[in-house]
Structure 1
Amino acid sequence: MKNIYDVIIIGGSYAGLSAAMALGRSLRNVLIIDAGKPCNRNTPHSQNFITQDGEKPHIIADKARKQVLAYSTVKLVSDVAKSGEKTEHGFKISTQSGTYYEAKKLIIATGIKDILPNIKGFKDTWAKSVIHCPYCHGYEFRNKKTAIMSNGDKAYHMIPLIHNLTKKFSVITQGKAHFTEEQLMHLKQHNIPLIEKEILEIVHENGAVKHVIYNDGTTEAFDAIYAQLPFEQHTNIPNELGCELTEQGYIQVDEMQKTTVPGIYACGDNTNRLRSVANAVYSGNLTGAVLNMELAHEAF
């Protein structure tokens, strides 16, 4: 029996599973290829997702996987998708194990890979008390001594959101600050300290930030630090197949989650900056429905 499917989904976390459920319930023959390394695997709790607020991410994912795989039309293999190519009838995906699979359509739901800075203690605190999103984590650190490790326009976008959650708030620019005069005036009006130093170490206790050590040897206590990190795509397959990326590095999709290559869709964190379980589930569900419609029209 050949490994040929209607749809291959690369990535079996929230977006990929959500797409698989919509397709599986529509009697599509679906294969999920998943490496078992979701983006939020270090996060102790998932918030801001109704019915699952405060639950451990792996419990949500395990429950979702069990429900999706209850549909006989959906299959999951634990493997790493390594390369992709176009075929006469669709796409072929080769995996780390040496197996290849073919499908009419392809969904990329691989999330993104954060590029962590070379700061001692950062990795141990990332997604615990060094965090990325005020919607995902801000309530838990409300009114706490907080910093944002960022600079310029990117930082200024986040500052009002964090200032709404706590007034004990500083901006650490990791070097010379790059703000406009108007932005600097607003920071001053709201009594937000601007710290033009570099963090060399984050001192923590079991992932909970205690204080930072700056490059001048001074220290400062914080309870939480927001960090806006650069990222890269988890897989080069979209690039291999000709999918365009945005200027920010996300896979370019339209309002229906279609990439710039016909037959290839993308959903979840790899397509936009709204990194949350709720958004991943939504975009995956939309992708599955739109792709099923495409298959239905092609066959009708």
Structure 2
Amino acid sequence: MILDCAIIGGGPAGLNAALVLGRARRKVVMFDNNQPRNAVTQESHGFITRDGISPSVFRRIAHEDIGKYASVAMKTDKIVEVKQEKDVFSLVTEKGERYQARKIILATGLKEILPSVNGLPDYYGKSLFSCPYCDGWELRDKPLVVISEMDRAVHMIGIVSNWTDDLVLATNGHAVLSGEQQELLHSKGIRVYEQKISELLGTEGLLQGIRFEDGVEVSREGGFITPAWLQAAPFGESLGCAMNSLGGLVTDEFGRTNIKGVYAAGDTSVIAPSQVIIAAAEGSRAAIGVNSDLTHELFHT
């Protein structure tokens, strides 16, 4: 049987796409290998009616919602191969199962590459985060650090300053600031530490301070990092989808890529800001794009 759509990825984007297509009575399969990027996240914020929800509870509720629609199948499996054969896509799972679909939605998300600081993963998701809009409120008015090895360090500092007046920047041995940027941060009372970080100080993932290789220490109670992003799966590139300068897939207002029949949603196409509510909305618009195009093809061919 040829399905209407295959959704690769079971995060907020894929889940919402499955919901919308299920409500449109489309035959859909969604693949989720249950390895979400936000596995370290304890609470998700910024989603009205779900502010503070844990990702596992969000996922459970989403599965319950989608389960009401019999035309949607949810598979706990990983897609390892996607090929386009004329107007049909063939998919192969890690378990060796094969599926065919007229359309595919890529909602595989991104992989984060954290700054190269020893021990940072122990603090990530507990007192160090990547999204101020998601976690800034919980760190409000605390002494914070931005750890960034990238040229968007000043932008992150500016955003984080909405939540605290006690803020420092650590570039971990990387010279990422211009002289003008150095002067700007100094004028705002923001200290800059360009020396390499020796270790993070704290217990059970709760940051207490930073020690640099020259012996300098600074007390901090949390902060934010600027990770690098990579596509979590290679399917967009292998299918020939155009990429933007940040590494996301280029899409139109309904999630369509430049390859007919291929749609992208969530972090796969929107690199930042990375919020649950934005990813879910991206999934909805891609699903509407899929349904609209399937309908158009039925009535105009």
Q: TM-score range by the shorter chain?
A: over 0.9
User: Is contact 2:169-2:192 (8 Å) kept?
Assistant: yes
| Cα distance, 1:262 vs structure 2 | 0.9
SS at match of 1:93: strand
Q: Deviations over 1:224-251 (max 9, x none)?
A: 1211111211111111111122121111
Q: What CA distance in whole angstroms lies between the structure 2 residues aligned with 1:83 and 1:192?
A: 49
| Cα distance, 1:52 vs structure 2 | 0.7
Q: What is the RMSD computed on CA atoms of the aligned residues?
A: 1.4
Amino acid corresponding to residue 249 of structure 2 in structure 1: I
User: Is contact 1:121-1:203 (8 Å) kept?
Assistant: no
2:76 corresponding residue in structure 1: 78
Identity percentage of aligned residues:
33
Amino acid corresponding to residue 42 of structure 1 in structure 2: V
| Cα distance, 1:103 vs structure 2 | 0.2
1:185 corresponding residue in structure 2: 183
Q: What CA distance in whole angstroms lies between the structure 1 residues aligned with 2:150 and 2:233?
A: 29
1:255 corresponding residue in structure 2: 253
Higher deviation after alignment, 113-122 or 64-73:
113-122
> Per the alignment, do residues 206 and 10 of structure 1 end up closer, same or farther by CA in structure 2, a change over 3 Å counting?
same
1:298 corresponding residue in structure 2: 297
From 209, 212, 215, the equivalent of 2:210 is 212
Q: Deviations over 1:69-94 (max 9, x none)?
A: 22001001111111111113311111
From 3, 12, 15, the equivalent of 1:14 is 12
User: Is contact 1:90-1:105 (8 Å) kept?
Assistant: yes
Higher deviation after alignment, 235-244 or 171-180:
171-180
Q: How does 1:81-92 map to 2 (within 5 A)?
A: 81-92=79-90
> Per the alignment, do residues 206 and 285 of structure 1 end up closer, same or farther by CA in structure 2, a change over 3 Å counting?
same
| Cα distance, 1:130 vs structure 2 | 1.2
User: Is contact 2:3-2:100 (8 Å) kept?
Assistant: yes
SS at match of 1:164: coil
Q: What CA distance in whole angstroms lies between the structure 2 residues aligned with 1:161 and 1:155?
A: 10
Q: What CA distance in whole angstroms lies between the structure 2 residues aligned with 1:240 and 1:227?
A: 30
2:288 corresponding residue in structure 1: 289
User: Is contact 1:32-1:76 (8 Å) kept?
Assistant: yes
Report how many residues are paired.
Answer: 298
| Cα distance, 1:219 vs structure 2 | 2.6
Runs (4 or more) in structure 1 with deviation over 4 Å come to none
Q: How does 1:128-139 map to 2 (within 5 A)?
A: 128-139=126-137
| Cα distance, 1:96 vs structure 2 | 0.9
> Per the alignment, do residues 207 and 176 of structure 1 end up closer, same or farther by CA in structure 2, a change over 3 Å counting?
closer
2:222 corresponding residue in structure 1: 224
Give the gaps of 5 or more residues in structure 1.
none
Q: Deviations over 1:102-123 (max 9, x none)?
A: 1000000011011234433211
* Superposition TM-score, scaled by structure 1 size: 0.95
> Per the alignment, do residues 184 and 117 of structure 1 end up closer, same or farther by CA in structure 2, a change over 3 Å counting?
closer
Q: Deviations over 1:200-237 (max 9, x none)?
A: 32233222112222122333221112111112111111
2:166 corresponding residue in structure 1: 168
> Per the alignment, do residues 118 and 171 of structure 1 end up closer, same or farther by CA in structure 2, a change over 3 Å counting?
closer
> Per the alignment, do residues 230 and 176 of structure 1 end up closer, same or farther by CA in structure 2, a change over 3 Å counting?
closer
Amino acid corresponding to residue 7 of structure 1 in structure 2: C
1:62 corresponding residue in structure 2: 60
SS at match of 1:211: strand
SS at match of 1:83: strand
From 237, 240, 256, the equivalent of 1:239 is 237
User: Is contact 2:29-2:74 (8 Å) kept?
Assistant: yes
From 95, 100, 112, the equivalent of 1:102 is 100
Q: What CA distance in whole angstroms lies between the structure 1 residues aligned with 2:111 and 2:250?
A: 17
Q: Does 1:36 align with 2:34?
A: yes
1:270 corresponding residue in structure 2: 268
Q: What CA distance in whole angstroms lies between the structure 1 residues aligned with 2:150 and 2:264?
A: 30
Give the gaps of 5 or more residues in structure 2.
none
User: Is contact 1:31-1:77 (8 Å) kept?
Assistant: yes
1:120 corresponding residue in structure 2: 118
| Cα distance, 1:136 vs structure 2 | 0.3
Q: What CA distance in whole angstroms lies between the structure 1 residues aligned with 2:233 and 2:42?
A: 25
Higher deviation after alignment, 110-119 or 19-28:
110-119
SS at match of 1:24: helix
| Cα distance, 1:133 vs structure 2 | 1.0
Q: What CA distance in whole angstroms lies between the structure 1 residues aligned with 2:281 and 2:18?
A: 12
Higher deviation after alignment, 70-79 or 168-177:
168-177
User: Is contact 1:171-1:193 (8 Å) kept?
Assistant: yes
| Cα distance, 1:151 vs structure 2 | 4.7
| Cα distance, 1:172 vs structure 2 | 0.6
SS at match of 2:39: coil
